[in-house]
Structure 1
Amino acid sequence: MQALPKCARSLYAPFTHPKHTNRIRFSPVSQPQPWTRSFHASASYRALPLAFDLYDNSGEATGAPILILHGLFGSKRNNRSISKALARDLSRPIYALDLRNHGDSPHEKEHNYVALAQDTEAFLKEHNLKDATLIGHSMGAKTVMTMALRDPSCCANIIAVDNAPVDAALLSDFPRYVEGMRRVESANPQSQKEANKILEPFAPDLAVRQYLLTNFARPGPGEPYKWRIPIHTLANSLGNLGDFPFRNPEEARFNKPALFVRGTKSHYVADETIPIIGRFFPRFQMVDVDSGHWVISENPEAFRQAVVEFLQDSE
């Protein structure tokens, strides 16, 4: 554990943060301001029922629940291995969710962080889940941050993976992925092999293509391949997904423990975002993991260790 020098602890002034520091812990530097919601953050949408998988280590995981939320174009299946590992290590049940417009969950034209947060808040209430830990990657990370700032009582702590509470346009990779997926949709390929060939110019990395193509499947035996996700809706929502619904840390603050995990080869959580993270989440810690943006799949063991250590320290 590395401590910052006293002069660098004010989160209201810029400071540099060494990219490869293993873990830095921050403490509150001032009394929290009264919490209010901005209009955008308190907008109301129809909550959708979310599909999920439960991992409870064969019934032996009986602690407080953990929810894990995937990123854009992902699904609950992406988090199968890490969910099993955390249920075993922490003896806590893990709920891996499909967010709206993904996986087996319903589709809806509204796709922004407030709508995603409201779906997940409704899931917590429906399943009577108390003192939960919320884990989210990328799109899921901004969703759990939104939940924590909308209603700090909804959870015990959060873990945000490779995203920050700032407005920042998605990397140009994602519009290219969408264009490639649209080309696949227009071509109506009869196999994943054909779809992969069409997608290759838009997603040269094989691992990324394989990730995207987990959404390309037959609805039933003998039926043609289709995207399981609404490409048009998600394409129209890319701007929303670069947004963050809270603008003013003086109006919303989460004073419970928060862990931010970022990939050392990723650009989603730049050093310049550290002060604003600290103002929204004054008790945050940060861990750097040797990976790109897809932290959990690229370095699952380092991620698992960071989560276990954080949650054991928080008990």
Structure 2
Amino acid sequence: MRFAQRSLQPVYAPFLHPKHTTRIQLSRSTPLPAWTRSFHASANWRVVDLAYRLHDNNGNAKGDPIVMIHGLFGSKRNNQSVANAFARILSRPVYAIDTRNHGESPHDKAHNYTALAEDVEAFLQKHNLKNSTLIGHSMGAKTVMTMALRNPDCCANIIPVDNAPVDAALSSDFPKYAEGMQRVEQAKPKSQKEADKILEPYAKDLPVRQFLLTNLFKPEPSAPLKFRIPVQILAKALDDMADFPFTNPDEVRFNKQALFVRGTKSPYVSDETLPIIGRFFPRFELVDIDAGHWVISEKPEEFIKAVVEFLQEKE
């Protein structure tokens, strides 16, 4: 594993789940079968067909694909300039997707990392995307980690951004965001300004409110604004978003390369989680960026530089 030099002191937080604390010794993982699964609906959820936006530098990006997965309450419209930069600099097409219950993708009552992973795995197969780099932020980070551990052959490498493969409580901000968004829907606002005022007590930072309110739309010209995402479903899924479906790195491991990017002002990837990351992802590299949880939007140039350097080294 490789560590970039930190720009701040380590961020310590009590996020390592007790069930991980006794696992210290490394052992050889059980080999996993080749990626030959058929993606059909399970007893508990169905695979949904994901909406996406392709960034391919006007058709000039012909290399191996990059798939970008947003975080909770996000969409494929997030970080478009970053996706365009990757397509241009790396000459690789970038598929920015909407996960289930986000953006223009279908809604479903099941919202957990196994369901999210199966959706994206089906997307890769449908579009015949091979040797992909999977980039995910927050919820998207746990999704790409889940995919890599479920089916290592589904991708060439992964780049999880500001999340770790542990069961860890979400920041208290996310339940507040969900509550505020429900309040907005109940008020049936006619304008973005009105919605912003309702949401302000639940999301103090203007950039966060602007991010959340990108999900608002008008079904009809005279209708009140409403969220295109199913806020109630996502509010009920917050515990699942704090969870991680794998608990034992002695049973599953991703032996390909992985770049973990964390914000030094964020608690989601504390130094205590690094040994667990190293056991699930023994070839991981770590880059720290002087930012909070919203690493990509806060420091896009630094994020682009870290990803480009990582991927160019692999060529």
What TM-score, normalized by structure 2, do the two folds share?
Answer: 0.89
Structure 2 counterpart SS, 1:140: helix
Aligned partners of 1:68, 1:83: CA distance in 2, in Å? 8
CA deviation after TM superposition for structure 1 residue 260, in Å: 0.2
Alignment map for 1:12-161 (pairs within 5 Å): 20=8, 32-35=28-31, 44=42, 45-161=45-161
The residue that corresponds to 1:185 in the other structure is: 185
Partner-residue secondary structure (3-state), 1:78: coil
Check conservation: 1:141, 1:163, Cα contact below 8 A.
yes
How far off its partner does 1:182 sit? 1.0
3-state SS of paired residue (1:86): helix
For 1:207, the equivalent position in structure 2 comes to 207
**Distance in 2, Cα, partners of 1:122 & 1:278:** 28
Shift of 1:186: 1.0
Amino acid paired to 1:214 = T
C-alpha displacement at 1:171, in angstroms? 0.7
Q: Deviations over 1:209-258 (max 9, x none)?
A: 00000011112433321111001100000000000000000000000000
Instruction: Give CA deviations for 1:3-26 in whole Å, capped at 9, x if unaligned.
Output: 79xxxxxxxxxxxx96749xxxxx
CA contact (8 A) 2:48 2:119 kept: yes
Map 1:212-223; keep pairs closer than 5 Å.
212-223=212-223
Match of 2:288 in 1: 288
Q: Measure the CA separation in 1 of the matches of 2:58 and 2:222.
A: 35
CA-to-aligned-CA distance 1:133-157 (integer Å, 9 cap, x gap): 0000000000000000000000000
* 1:265 and 2:265 aligned: yes
Task: Tell me, yes or no, if the aligned pair for 2:152 and 2:254 is still in contact at 8 Å.
Answer: yes
- TM-score, reference length from structure 1: 0.89
TM superposition shift of 1:36: 6.0
- Which residue number corresponds to residue 307 of structure 2? 307
Q: Secondary structure at the match of 1:305?
A: helix
CA distance in 2, matches of 1:165, 1:33: 16
Q: How many angstroms apart in 2 are the aligned matches of 1:2 and 1:303?
A: 17
In structure 2, distance between residues paired with 1:227 and 1:35 = 44
The one-letter code of the counterpart of 1:141 is: A
Distance in 2 (CA, whole Å) between partners of 1:56 and 1:186 is 40
Alpha-carbon RMSD across the aligned residues, in angstroms, is 2.1
The residue matched to 2:110 in structure 1 has which SS? coil
- Alpha-carbon distance in structure 2 between the residues aligned to 1:301 and 1:134: 19
> 1:147/1:293 Cα in 2 relative to 1: closer, same or farther (>3 Å)?
same
Count of residue pairs the alignment pairs up: 292
Q: Deviations over 1:186-227 (max 9, x none)?
A: 111111111100110110100100000001111243332111
Rounded to whole Å, the distance in 2 between the matches of 1:223 and 1:56 is: 36
Change (3 A) 1:192 1:3: closer
* In the alignment, structure 1 residue 276 sits paired with structure 2 residue 294: no
Partner amino acid, structure 1, of 2:207:
A
SS in 2 for 1:76: coil
Identical pairs, percent: 66
